[in-house]
Structure 1
Amino acid sequence: MRIASADVVVTSPARNFVTLVITTDDGLTGLGDATLNGRELSVASYLRDHVAPLLEGRDASRIEDTWQYLYRGAYWRRGPVTMAAVAAVDTALWDIKAKAAGMPLYQLLGGASRTGALAYGHASGRDVPELLDSVRAHLERGYRAIRVQTGIPGLDSVYGVASSAAGGGERYDYEPARRRPLPAEETWDTRAYLRHVPTVFEAVRAEFGPGLPLLHDGHHRMTPIQAARLGKDLEPYDLFWLEDATPAEDQTALRLIRQHTTTPLAIGEVFNSAHDYTVLLQERLIDYVRSAVTHAGGVTGLRRLLDMAGHFGIRSGIHGPTDISPVGMAAALHLDLAVHNFGIQEYMRHAPETLEVFRTSFTFTDGLLHPSDTPGLGVGLDLAAAERFPYAPAYLPVNRLADGTVHDW
């Protein structure tokens, strides 16, 4: 079973996606997600110009060897563009292998460890009443865990608040990215944020009680001591996790946060290999790893990371917003079902236009996701539909403080 072709499809139904389609000489096809939000064309070029020519004629069944060939064989290792490209190839080859076996992918990963994967949704509001309405709506849709994000008094637009749309440009697929030639610029005030967020969780707990798992994303905007303060202030509200409290390039920064709070910590959606987690895992500085299949070397790369995390009692929290395509989402669900140290799965529903292009079979019932028993990943790509939605530039916003300083994002 040899690789006959490797084609890159760039489409933008409700947002931009990059998909690798590998076809074997006996007619099997596999899909891999290579989407890198705001840098999609970089990965598309990497795949078309550098990776695809290396794949033709290779044995499609040799997944580990191909992973190592693309990772170790290139002098320039790691980085988001490289690892998204490696992930696309790896995921597509796993899709092919599972189809050839006539099994859903999770069966090749050791079979199911649970009946479904607990998922959390994104509730948000410009103010507390709007947020509470959003939480109710998510509960009505079947979610049993909720991420809580809210507007900050004095700030026009805040990441994670779906109804907040400063900066102009079409907001797409429920995310802060917008279709526009240049990124929007938003103003940020950490002190105002730190004052406001504990009052938000007090209101949510008062309305919905102590049993509902609540999560919050700081999106790298705090210093370690600020994050330590927030974690401690949120302890009375029993969060499932506080995510991305501080920029994670310096893994040792998490030591300070850990010393001051018992609020569980999650980090890693911008990481792209197990090497980014070494100190965090060995010193148990976090409770959940957040990398995505799409950005961390595919099924092979993420399984390696999750197995490593499991040795330290650390669980999965795979990144799953709408900038992960349905292909990447399905791959995550197969891992969720198979690995022992599953924690929770982020799940944002894709827009109807996206689901015209990507035909999915995974299900969401009673708060649990299941990848389905369709052979392979369980996702098909409608090429005719994809052609109807051409690429359009879109970017996440840039943050500045009130004095104009560029701030972390």
Structure 2
Amino acid sequence: MKRDIIESAEVIVCSPGRNFVTVKITTKAGYIGYGDATLNGRELAVAAYLEHYLCPLLEGRSVFQTEDIWNYFYKGAYWRKGPVTMTAIGAIDMALWDLKGKILETPVYNLLGGKSRSKMLTYTHANGKNLEDTLKRVEELKKASFEAIRVQCGIPGIEKAYGIGEKGIYEPAIKGNKPFEESWSTPKYLNFIPSVFEEVRKEFGEDLHLLHDSHHRLTPTEAARLAKDLEPYHLFWLEDVTPAEHQESFAQIKQKSVTPLAVGEVFNTIHDAHHLISNQSIDYIRMTVSHGGGITPMLKIAHFAEPYHIKTGCHGPSDISPIALAACLHVDTAINNFGIQEYMGYSETTEEAFPHEYYFENGHLHLTEAPGLGVDFNETFARKFEYEKAYLPINRLEDGTMFNW
């Protein structure tokens, strides 16, 4: 019996700590590979696409045909791109690479070119409701050995700002039948945020890597102002300063500031970033393995970015499962132009549902020599937690105009 021939593919939707969509592919010889198909707030759309259109076409295929299978689902559908399509394809691609590693009894990174490094610098989030709360959180994370921290702070006069969650694991999606509405003021934000980084640098010095996310809320001119105002505080990067559908906008910002720019967590294909990369308008590409179509295309994107001096910084929130995070880490390990890996951590329930071999130590994430991706799925435990509808918030300006969240 050939060990690489696919017998079945199953989609499992459950909520161990939060909603996750997991793809389970089984070969005729009994090997099992896992992929993450979670798209926050749109989980069932991806699950339906997988169940009705992609998974039934896998039976009888070889797990080693990742390139052909990927193009079969991307080019063969005619309707290309988009977060639902690419997350679905990405989950299958992840599971196939997981299977290849398990069948060959080697970590996935060995199939991608081998180790380029032994550890991955990681950053996490310091989310404070006010300046005092933010400084306290930065101190806690620094003591926990993080060397890079993304700093977000509540804005005076804005009731609830992006990135400011309650205590514990940050989860922006809110359970219910409609999205929660937030309010926003760009002038209040621009006038306040530089003072936050001034205080962080005074308190913690220059050695700590600091990052910040504007979450696509600024015009190019506003973004250039912020990037210029933050120059004295030497940020590792300034993230998602303006909506990136208009890629030429970033060139305007680059011309006016030397603050490094990162973008791409909502990108789905290389076409979303082609101009940004080839024109060197950014410093870090933030695409993540799961939402970017899997390991197969992510390798191509990283290799394309390398000669332009652009490094990776894969999106790694708690709303992608440990399977997807591990997939990012295997790519991080293998490529030459790795920059940094986002790591927000998981709830105890999520950790129990997805036992994993990767670990955090001294500001870095580490992989072991476990075959495949090195993540298991405790299916019996996870199925105890049923899916609950949840939406990401939406955002309006103070006058009620619909805006970017």
Q: TM-score range by the shorter chain?
A: over 0.9
Could you tell me how far 1:163 is from its partner in structure 2? Answer: 3.2
Counterpart CA distance in 2 for 1:152 and 1:408 is 17
The aligned residue for residue 302 of structure 2 is: 306
Task: Note the alpha carbon deviations across 1:188-207, whole angstroms, 9 max, x for none.
Answer: 00000000000000000000
- Aligned with 1:26 (options 26, 29, 32): 29
Counterpart CA distance in 1 for 2:288 and 2:381 is 26
The aligned residue for residue 118 of structure 1 is: 121
Could you tell me how far 1:371 is from its partner in structure 2? Answer: 2.4
Amino acid at match of 1:189: S
Question: Are the equivalent residues in 1 in contact too, given 2:145–2:362 (CA < 8 A)?
Answer: yes
Task: Note the alpha carbon deviations across 1:347-373, whole angstroms, 9 max, x for none.
Answer: 011100111111111011111101221
Task: Note the alpha carbon deviations across 1:376-403, whole angstroms, 9 max, x for none.
Answer: 0000011111111100011111100111
The aligned residue for residue 358 of structure 1 is: 354
Could you tell me how far 1:177 is from its partner in structure 2? Answer: 1.5
For normalisation by structure 1, the TM-score amounts to: 0.97
For normalisation by structure 2, the TM-score amounts to: 0.98
SS at match of 2:355: strand
Counterpart CA distance in 1 for 2:62 and 2:109 is 22
- Aligned with 1:202 (options 198, 203, 206): 198
Could you tell me how far 1:173 is from its partner in structure 2? Answer: 4.0
The aligned residue for residue 177 of structure 1 is: 173
- Pairs within 5 Å for 1:163-174: 163=166, 173-174=169-170
- Aligned with 1:347 (options 340, 343, 346): 343
The aligned residue for residue 333 of structure 2 is: 337
Question: Are the equivalent residues in 2 in contact too, given 1:371–1:377 (CA < 8 A)?
Answer: no
- Aligned with 1:7 (options 10, 16, 40): 10
The aligned residue for residue 408 of structure 1 is: 404
Could you tell me how far 1:8 is from its partner in structure 2? Answer: 0.2
Task: Note the alpha carbon deviations across 1:306-365, whole angstroms, 9 max, x for none.
Answer: 111112110000000101110000000111111100000000111001111111110111
Could you tell me how far 1:4 is from its partner in structure 2? Answer: 0.4
Could you tell me how far 1:258 is from its partner in structure 2? Answer: 1.0
Question: Are the equivalent residues in 2 in contact too, given 1:160–1:175 (CA < 8 A)?
Answer: no
Question: Are the equivalent residues in 2 in contact too, given 1:299–1:335 (CA < 8 A)?
Answer: yes
Question: Are the equivalent residues in 1 in contact too, given 2:169–2:344 (CA < 8 A)?
Answer: no
- Pairs within 5 Å for 1:317-328: 317-328=313-324
The aligned residue for residue 89 of structure 2 is: 86
SS at match of 1:379: coil
- Pairs within 5 Å for 1:121-270: 121-163=124-166, 173-270=169-266
- Aligned with 1:36 (options 14, 39, 45): 39
Question: Are the equivalent residues in 2 in contact too, given 1:266–1:290 (CA < 8 A)?
Answer: yes
Question: Are the equivalent residues in 2 in contact too, given 1:125–1:163 (CA < 8 A)?
Answer: no
Could you tell me how far 1:176 is from its partner in structure 2? Answer: 1.7
Question: Could you tell me the percent identity over the aligned residues?
Answer: 52
Could you tell me how far 1:21 is from its partner in structure 2? Answer: 0.3
- Aligned with 1:388 (options 376, 384, 392): 384
- Pairs within 5 Å for 1:268-307: 268-307=264-303
The aligned residue for residue 58 of structure 2 is: 55
Counterpart CA distance in 1 for 2:103 and 2:256 is 51
Counterpart CA distance in 2 for 1:38 and 1:28 is 31
SS at match of 2:101: helix
Amino acid at match of 1:24: T
The aligned residue for residue 169 of structure 1 is: none
Counterpart CA distance in 2 for 1:173 and 1:25 is 39
The aligned residue for residue 167 of structure 1 is: none
SS at match of 1:118: strand
The aligned residue for residue 376 of structure 1 is: 372
Amino acid at match of 1:106: Y
Task: Note the alpha carbon deviations across 1:58-116, whole angstroms, 9 max, x for none.
Answer: 11211111011111111101111110011011100000000111111111111111110
Counterpart CA distance in 1 for 2:68 and 2:367 is 26
Indicate the RMSD between aligned Cα atoms, in angstroms: 1.0
SS at match of 2:195: helix
Amino acid at match of 1:266: A
Amino acid at match of 1:298: G
SS at match of 1:186: strand
Question: Are the equivalent residues in 1 in contact too, given 2:124–2:146 (CA < 8 A)?
Answer: yes
Counterpart CA distance in 2 for 1:399 and 1:327 is 30
Amino acid at match of 1:260: K
Counterpart CA distance in 1 for 2:171 and 2:137 is 15
Query: After TM superposition, which residue ranges in structure 1, 4 or more long, deviate above 2 angstroms?
Result: none
Paired residue total: 402
The aligned residue for residue 316 of structure 1 is: 312
Counterpart CA distance in 2 for 1:259 and 1:179 is 42
Counterpart CA distance in 2 for 1:366 and 1:4 is 42
Question: Are the equivalent residues in 1 in contact too, given 2:114–2:334 (CA < 8 A)?
Answer: yes
Q: Note the residue ranges of structure 1 that are not aligned, 5 or more in a row.
A: 165-171
Counterpart CA distance in 1 for 2:135 and 2:75 is 49
SS at match of 1:359: coil
Counterpart CA distance in 1 for 2:227 and 2:195 is 13
Counterpart CA distance in 1 for 2:245 and 2:265 is 12
Counterpart CA distance in 1 for 2:398 and 2:232 is 31
Counterpart CA distance in 1 for 2:172 and 2:61 is 40
Q: Note the residue ranges of structure 2 that are not aligned, 5 or more in a row.
A: none
